[in-house]
Structure 1
Amino acid sequence: MTEALLSLVAAELAFPGEPNPAMRAARCIADDILAGHGEAVEAVIFYGSCRRSGDATGLLDLYVLTTSDRAFNGPGAAAFFNAALPPNVLHWRLDGPDGPLRAKVAVMTLHAFEGRMRPDATDTTLWARFCQPATLVHARDTEARRRVEAAVARAVEIAVTWALRLGAPTEPPAALWRHLFAKTYGAELRAERGNRPESIVATAPAWFDAILPAALARLPARPAADGGRAWARRWARRRAAGKALNVARLVKAAFTFNGGPDYLADKVARHSGVAFELTPWQRRHPILAAPLLLWRLRRQGAVR
């Protein structure tokens, strides 16, 4: 791993000396998680839209990386589901010093997190998320910090590798990232507006400009799109698998995420602008209600 890429990643992940309200809120929630699960937690990462905007009043996105599934979840079904289809998702609520705080907390082992940072991984979700700016709110020790930094640096390398395979331009750097995020969002069942790739790149232009040459310097040979059809077929398989995985995780969340159906409805409304109200029957039977509801949302353009 080139020193330049690791240095950029480490600097971006470092908790700021003068944190904004969202950073303070993320640290507050992380401290609350550690109070109940401290021995099981290797690291806590803050990422996503509230991290980009600095808004502490929204739903914060945190990834909790653990020593083992059983250590965090206990010996029951939650540990089984976390191992079988990570991550588990929790809705964390807390009365903070400046008001109520909420977070979507994704939980998986640090080992599983590292293992999904591979260019041949079927699931694109993790490397697509963590090639974007994030903050390491907590690390158990120096080893845990270095493992997270190395995993995030690999996420950047994988992202650039796939962008080049899919024919993205390298100049200007923003064009490569917009091209890539359009592809990765297309490989998920997303409730997002069409300008999402543009807005992500626009919020951190210095980061995306700097990490591209650092990642390119790391790659032993620049991947090319000359085998275009082969790479397109491989990406099509990831796109199909990614949507299937999203559906499976939504089904799991309906049962394992407290308030899962209402959270999903709120997420669709916030990210797509399409608001809808769940009926009591839909809340009680989220799996039975899902096919018709998903069909209606797709017709309205709320999910892609």
Structure 2
Amino acid sequence: MAVPTAPSSAMAGALALARDIVAEHGDAVRAVLFYGSCRRTGDASGLLDLYVVHDGQRAFHRHWLPALLNAALPPNVMQRVGHAEGVGEVRAKVAVLSRRQFERRLRAGTMDTTIWARFCQPTTLVHARDAEAAAWAATAGARAFATAALWAARLGPRQAAPAGFWQALFASTYGAELRTERRGRGNSIHEAAPEWFDGNLPLAFAAQGLDARPDAEGRLAPGLPPSRRWSAGWALRRWLGKPLNVARLVKAAFTFEGGADYLAWKIERHSGEALALTDWQRRHPVLAAPRLLWRLLRRGAVR
């Protein structure tokens, strides 16, 4: 989670935006985490992905309505624009949730897979309030990885090289969300850091009492036989995941300034499908959403 000694332009942008967020919200900010495609590529021209973890809804949001919305349906999402020295203007999608909300979504039993599926990936801690917060972030990352490894054993092949478990897992997690990325996008996550994923998977298996011994060809067999319990549990998560994403998008349409244009930009960036919005659609994103969603489904831009 350490910031590189020679940070990329995207890392420099994330650090600058984290400083701006802390300047505005003070000690209510426990940690700011940077993950995602821009972190992987180092490209600051895209929309950076930041997660802000705080210790209290009212302390962070200061107004009752966003605090209530975040308590009811986390995370709140906002777009931040800042300036990084030597980089210029940078933008980020900032997701905000409390420490308790974050921790609940790291558990293997959670119905919301979005947090552990994101933070099992390499992540940089661009701000920690103090040493305790830094230690908490490291522990949270380890818990996310352990949960991901457990579900990889439950859903993946009975025996495979580590890459096979991750590819199967990310195909499942992408399928449990309303995603705009093309098929195979999950493979690029593994390909960006194979040593991280493959080297740590046996450790995560062993920590949970699973067989972590590779065979002569480097294949792992964690020893979890196929179970209807796991497949049914994941089917429930898949069934709940897309409606949950839709509910968050509806909330974002009311709470995310410029949210309609952001969503159109994100869809085009990840799927290649341009979505031109009318002024009416910008003013009434919820009313316009069914027709736009149907258009995107027909094009194959979302699944």
* TM-score interval, smaller chain: over 0.9
Deviation at 1:171, TM superposition (A): 3.2
> Which stretch shows the higher mean deviation, 174-183 or 69-78?
69-78
Tell me the SS of whatever aligns to 2:295. Answer: helix
| Corresponding residue for residue 166 of structure 2 | 177
The residue correspondences of 1:100-249 to structure 2 (distance < 5 A) are 100-168=89-157, 171-221=160-210, 225-249=224-248
Deviation at 1:217, TM superposition (A): 1.4
TM-score of the superposition, structure 1-length normalised?
A: 0.93
Question: AA paired with 1:220?
Answer: G
Tell me the SS of whatever aligns to 2:97. Answer: strand
User: Which string of whole-angstrom CA distances, capped at 9 and with x for unpartnered residues, describes residues 113-137 of structure 1?
Assistant: 1121111100000000000111001
Question: AA paired with 1:212?
Answer: L
Distance in structure 2 (CA, Å) of the matches to 1:73 and 1:243: 27
The residue correspondences of 1:55-66 to structure 2 (distance < 5 A) are 55-66=43-54
Tell me the SS of whatever aligns to 2:93. Answer: strand
| Corresponding residue for residue 70 of structure 1 | 58
> Which stretch shows the higher mean deviation, 264-273 or 17-26?
17-26
Contact 1:40 1:68 in 2 (8 A): yes
Distance in structure 2 (CA, Å) of the matches to 1:194 and 1:252: 27
Question: AA paired with 1:293?
Answer: L
Gaps of 5+ in 1: 1-12
Higher relative contact order (CA 8 A, sep 6+): 1
Tell me the SS of whatever aligns to 2:102. Answer: helix
Deviation at 1:225, TM superposition (A): 5.0
| Corresponding residue for residue 268 of structure 2 | 269
User: Which string of whole-angstrom CA distances, capped at 9 and with x for unpartnered residues, describes residues 85-119 of structure 1?
Assistant: 11100100113323111000000112211121111
Gaps of 5+ in 2: 212-221
Contact 2:13 2:90 in 1 (8 A): yes
Change (3 A) 1:153 1:275: same
TM-score of the superposition, structure 2-length normalised?
A: 0.93
Deviation at 1:213, TM superposition (A): 1.2
Tell me the SS of whatever aligns to 2:89. Answer: strand
> Which stretch shows the higher mean deviation, 26-35 or 13-22?
13-22
Instruction: Give the share of equivalent positions with the same residue, in percent.
Output: 58
Contact 1:166 1:225 in 2 (8 A): no
Question: AA paired with 1:178?
Answer: Q
Tell me the SS of whatever aligns to 1:276. Answer: coil
| Corresponding residue for residue 34 of structure 1 | 22
Question: AA paired with 2:250?
Answer: V
Deviation at 1:232, TM superposition (A): 1.2
Contact 1:169 1:176 in 2 (8 A): no
